[in-house]
Each structure stands twice: as structure tokens, then as C-alpha cells.
Amino acid sequence: MAISLEGRWDITVDMNGKPAPSWLEVRHSGNRTLVGQFVSVSGSARPISEVHVKDNTFHFAIPPQWESGTGDFSVKGTFQGDKISGSLTTPDGKTYSWTGVRAPSLRRTSPPVWGKPIKLTQGNSLTGWHAEGTNQWVIKDGVLKSEKSGANLITDQKFNDFKLHVEFRIPKGSNSGVYLRGRYEVQVTDGKGMEPSPGELGGVYGFISPSEMMAKEPGEWQSFDVTLIGRMITLAVNGKTVITNQEIPGITGGALDSNEGEPGPLYIQGDHGPVEYRNIVITPAN
């Protein structure tokens, strides 16, 4: 029975009536052990040392990450076919119920046919964007600016496969990110001099490290060029390709939802410090 739990799962947690996205991967290790990784409603993918399975039930525990409290993060569930459900208890002792479905493979069978580019930053209007909360973003002469930590900014339009060009500037010590389809975060950090990692500039948070650190000095304009086809991402940072056609396994903590088979918006993280963006141009596939 254990074999039917293996794979990736898109999970939705009921947090006191508010749906929150999560994600689970279970895979075999050696002859008899199931291991995996888990993404909660915030933070990065965390390794699971063992997923314990009996009949059609399972459970695992992992150390806390960004949560308050000192206990383990524990998950219990049942599985049947392409659906799972259960409960989770956070390190501060709160318990929530959740449901999940098998994550789609998102493998494309034909190459994309690109449509017309859409410029998402121009002039002095935030038309086409909305804030997730009280808005602190302003735009002037095509430069989108958040002077302090506040709300994230989301496009009204949703996209499936696309090419994206985006330019950004952050002061020393600040942090932002660009969520592709509102689910997969490409990190924007003050990464000059840092080792490449999934948590630094050009990383897909929690999953993929760039091949090298291409960060400029804080306060300089920098750029991403992204191609996202299904789960496969290619990324250039400041003109240098640092990720080449790699698979994004699952969602980032902080994603808008876990509905990976659906189109999603572009969303810009605005709750980790000041940041500016300009020349955001997206070219969707037809």
C-alpha cells in the first residue's frame, strides 16, 4: 500500500476557515524507507527523514523552521488513490485539517508558441496590479517602488507558460522575490559575495541553486530573464544563464495557492524590505 503514497501532493490547509497552500513529496530510500520533503504555508522545503506508513495511514515530524513554538511540526494523514487528507500540528501546538491531491506533472508535449509581450510597468498607474493588504507600492515614470515592508503586489492577469524580463534594485540587506504563477519564488536578495544557494539571488526558494552568484552591488539595477514552461525553468541573472531547464518540484511557502495545474499571476514580495522594479515584461505562450 505504501507505494500509492509516493509522489508529489498539492495540499490545502484549512486555517480557521482560510485556505492556505502546502506541499508534500514522498519517495523511496533504499529497500524499505520512505523519505521526502514538505513545504508548509511559509518557509522553504524541509527534508523529512522518514515517513511512517501503516496500511493507508501515514505520519511524520520535522523540526520547526520559521514558526513560533519549540515542538516538532507533525503531520498525520490517510491516502486513497489520488487524494490524501489529515491534520497537522504546528510547533506552537495549534492543529489544523488539510486535504490534498496528486500534483500534476505539467509536462508539455509541444514547444510553446509565444504571443505578444505585455509591459506590466509603465507610466504612473498601478492599473493591472492589486495589493494583498494595505498598499504601500507606488509607480512613477515606470518605476515600481515599495519604500518599506508592507503588502505583496499581484497582477490582475493570470498566466500559464511565459517568458519574463524584470529589472530590480534593492538596498543593502533588503530582500524580495518574484513568484511565478504566484507559486514559485525566484529570490531577490542582496547577494553580492554570497555562495549560490536556493535562498539567495537567482535561487528558486527552497529547491534550486543558481550555478553561480551573479549579484551586483546593492543599489544597482539588476535583471532576471525567466522562461517557465510547465515546471521547467531557465533563468538568466544580469545576462548570465544560471539555471538551465530545471524542474521546479513544488510550490514555495507563501504561495497564493497550491493549484499547480492552473494559470497564476505574477506576484512581487513586498514584506521583506524596500525594493524597486521596472521594465517588467511578460510574453505568454498562446
Contacts of 21 (CB under 8 A, 6+ apart): 10, 11, 12, 13, 41, 183, 251, 255, 256, 257, 258
- The per-residue pLDDT for 4 is 85
Contacts of 229 (CB under 8 A, 6+ apart): 108, 112, 161, 285
pTM score = 0.95
- The per-residue pLDDT for 153 is 98
CB 236, CB 265: distance < 8 Å = no
- pLDDT tens digits, 37-89: 999 998 999 999 999 999 999 999 999 999 999 999 999 999 999 999 999 99
- Given 3-state DSSP classes, what are the helix, strand and coil percentages for the chain, each rounded to the nearest 5? 0, 50, 50
Cβ atoms within 10 Å, residue 268: 24
Phi-psi region of 7 (alpha: psi -120 to 50; beta: other; left: phi over 0): left
Task: For strands 222-229 and 162-169, give the pairing.
Answer: antiparallel
Distance between CA 232 and CA 211 in Å, rounded? 16
Residue numbers in the chain where pLDDT is lower than 70: 1-3
Distance between CA 152 and CA 252 in Å, rounded? 15
- The per-residue pLDDT for 30 is 93
Distance between CA 224 and CA 130 in Å, rounded? 22
- pLDDT tens digits, 16-31: 999 999 999 999 999 9
Distance between CA 185 and CA 281 in Å, rounded? 17
